[in-house]
Structures are given as C-alpha cells and as structure tokens.
C-alpha cells in the first residue's frame, strides 16, 4: 500500500515526503520505495521525547539516512525544544548536519514564534544557519498560529510554513457528520481523545459548520476535503501542505485540491469565513 501511495504521489507531481523517528514506532516505509528515484525532497523530524541534544540530532539523522539509504534529506526538523537543551546547542547541531552534507536546510516543528526568533537570533549572533520553515497544524478550525503569529516571521526573516493535518485528523472529511463510524480512526481505543472531541458540544458545532460549507464545495465542483486542502494552500505563507493518506482513493481525492486552488477567490474565502466565524485578527487587521 505504501509503495502504491508513493507511486501515485510521485506520478502526480509530488516531490516532497515527510518522515520522522516516531512515525510507525520507528518503522519506515520499505527502503525499496525510497531507493527507486522517487524522492526529490525528503524532510525528517527529530524526536522530542529523546531530547534535542547535539548527540541525538546528529546520531539520529545518521541512523535514519542509513536505514532509508539516502545520502541526505532536504530539510531536517526539530520538534519543540525541551528545557534542558540550550538553544545554541540545537542551532549548532543543525548547522553541523548541514555543513556535513546530511541536510540542505533545517526547520522547526510546533515551535512558538518566540522560540523561532530566538533560534534565528542565536544563528545570526554566532554566524550559524537559521531555520527556514516551521511545521504547524493548520486547518479550518485551527488558524491562530499560521494566520497571526507566523506571518510576522514570514515577512521579517523569511520563515515559511509547512502545515499538517489539513483535515483535522479526519474531522473535516465529513465522515463524522452522523456520529463515529465503527471503521473510522476515532473508533480505535488509542484515539479515544478524538472520539471525545467529535462528540463534544464544540465537535457538534464543527460538524454543523461543515454541513454549511458543503454547498460551497458543490458549487466549486469539489469535495469538502478538497475544499479544505485548497483553503490551506491559498495562504501566502504556506509553502506546502502535508497530507496523510491510508488508501489510493483518499490520496487521489486530496491531490485534486490543486485544481480547486484557482477557484479560491477572495469572495469564496469570505463566504467560508462567514460560516466558520473563527477568523483570528492580527494587529494589522485591527489597525485597518
């Protein structure tokens, strides 16, 4: 299944794949997939639970490159820093793996704007390499960070956003409109938190809003998931949207969002905002 998914993605023009130590408990997609010339861009994430020390970042990336049979990754990401590791050590470690040819750039994942700015300042102070990208959750119901906090960094120091969970763990797919199906992710014991979120009062309100968004998707000739992914892509600070798919049909549907993107006019976006009623307001919005 993994090989089929990656083949479809590659043939559809996708040239960036995301992997990390924690995905599938450290078990990566079959090495043969990575070794067939499918990959032009790979991003890799260091596991926060084991710390972001220089030793872990360097040894972790070396081990992953060996398992994946890759000479380097395009971007190496660091999950949110722990309080025990100085920022200078993290920046020096990332600068080292880039200087050694193990990565081309480095980025952050789930860092606050203040932490990203600190890393940038440390890099500039000691003539090291600053982060270029932040991995952040972004979807119709999660907007504050990408739309208010990151734009300042985007315009000031050029940090872009690589967003994840465009369908909010499947909530925006529409399959939870009438409860939690037995075959869904939310029905699994390990996803009890997701089930509770869906059946909560806020979760029911979200499903009502999704039903109100359906006529817009129908008018644009797309599905609700395609509308949601295109909505994420239309943000100027979003460099790419990471998709998680479990079957070919889902992947093909999500990739169709590219065709919807040109239809995301300011009028359509305003229609969506009027339904969601959760648009965060930045200082710029307030002054205007």
Is the Cβ–Cβ distance between 213 and 226 less than 8 Å? no
Bridge-based pairing state of the strands 160-164 and 238-241: parallel
Q: pLDDT for 115-152, tens place per residue?
A: 999 999 999 999 999 999 999 999 999 999 999 999 98
Which one of 52-56, 163-167, 182-186 scores highest in mean pLDDT?
A: 163-167
Domain count, the chain: 1
The residue that leads in pLDDT, 84 or 231, is: 231
pLDDT at 89 over 90: yes
Q: 89-101 burial, b for 16+ CB within 10 Å, e for fewer?
A: bbbbbbbbbbeee
pLDDT at 79 over 60: yes
Out of 12-16, 26-30, 121-125, which region has the weakest mean confidence (pLDDT)?
A: 26-30
Residues 6+ away with beta carbon under 8 Å from 141: 168, 171, 172, 206, 276, 278
Sign of the CA dihedral 182, 6, 105, 53? positive
Question: How confident is the model at residue 282, as a pLDDT?
Answer: 67
- Cα–Cα distance, 195 to 189 (Å, whole number): 9
Q: 3-class secondary structure for 46-107?
A: ECHHHCCCHHHHHHHHHHHHHHHCCCCEEEEEEECCCCCCCHHHHHHHHHHHHHCCCEEEEE
Terminal CA-CA length for the chain: 50
- Cα–Cα distance, 177 to 173 (Å, whole number): 9
pLDDT at 286 over 50: no
Question: How confident is the model at residue 263, as a pLDDT?
Answer: 97
Question: Which one from 10, 23, 28, 105 is the annotated catalytic residue?
Answer: 23
- Residue 23 falls in the annotated catalytic set: yes
Q: What is the mean pLDDT of the chain?
A: 86
Domain of 27 in residue numbering reads as 1-285
Question: How confident is the model at residue 157, as a pLDDT?
Answer: 93
Instruction: State mean pLDDT over 7-28.
Output: 77
CATH number of 3's domain: 3.20.20.100
Question: How confident is the model at residue 145, as a pLDDT?
Answer: 95
pLDDT level of residue 67 (50, 70, 90 thresholds):
confident
Residues 6+ away with beta carbon under 8 Å from 145: 113, 136, 137, 138
Q: Above pLDDT 90, what percent of the chain?
A: 55
pLDDT at 38 over 50: no
Which one of 40-54, 188-202, 257-271, 272-286 scores highest in mean pLDDT?
A: 257-271
């Amino acid at each position: 299944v993994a090989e089929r998914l990656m083949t479809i993605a590659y043939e559809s023009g996708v040239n960036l794949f995301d992997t990390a130590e924690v995905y599938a408990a450290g078990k990566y997609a079959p090495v043969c997939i990575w070794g067939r010339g499918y990959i032009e861009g790979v991003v890799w994430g260091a596991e926060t639970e084991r710390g972001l020390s220089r030793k872990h970042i360097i040894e972790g990336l070396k081990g992953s490159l060996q398992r994946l049979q890759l000479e380097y990754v395009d971007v190496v990401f660091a999950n949110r820093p722990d309080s025990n590791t100085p920022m200078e050590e993290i920046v020096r470690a990332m600068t080292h793996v880039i200087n050694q040819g193990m990565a081309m750039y480095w980025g952050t994942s789930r860092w606050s704007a203040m932490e990203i700015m600190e890393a940038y300042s440390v890099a500039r102070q000691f003539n090291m390499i600053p982060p270029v990208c932040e991995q952040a959750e972004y979807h119709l119901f999660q907007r504050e960070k990408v739309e208010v906090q990151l734009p300042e960094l985007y315009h000031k120091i050029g940090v872009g956003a690589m967003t994840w969970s465009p369908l909010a763990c499947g909530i925006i797919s529409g399959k939870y409109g009438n409860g939690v199906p037995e075959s869904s992710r939310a029905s699994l014991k390990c996803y009890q938190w997701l089930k509770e979120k869906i059946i909560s009062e806020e979760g029911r309100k979200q499903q009502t809003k999704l039903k109100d968004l359906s006529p817009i998707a129908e008018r644009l000739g797309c599905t609700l998931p395609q509308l949601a992914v295109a909505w994420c892509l239309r943000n100027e600070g979003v460099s790419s949207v990471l998709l998680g798919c479990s079957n070919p049909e889902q992947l093909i549907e999500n990739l169709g969002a590219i065709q919807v993107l040109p239809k995301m006019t300011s009028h359509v976006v305003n229609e969506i905002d009027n339904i969601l009623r959760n648009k965060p307001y930045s200082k710029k919005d307030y002054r205007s």
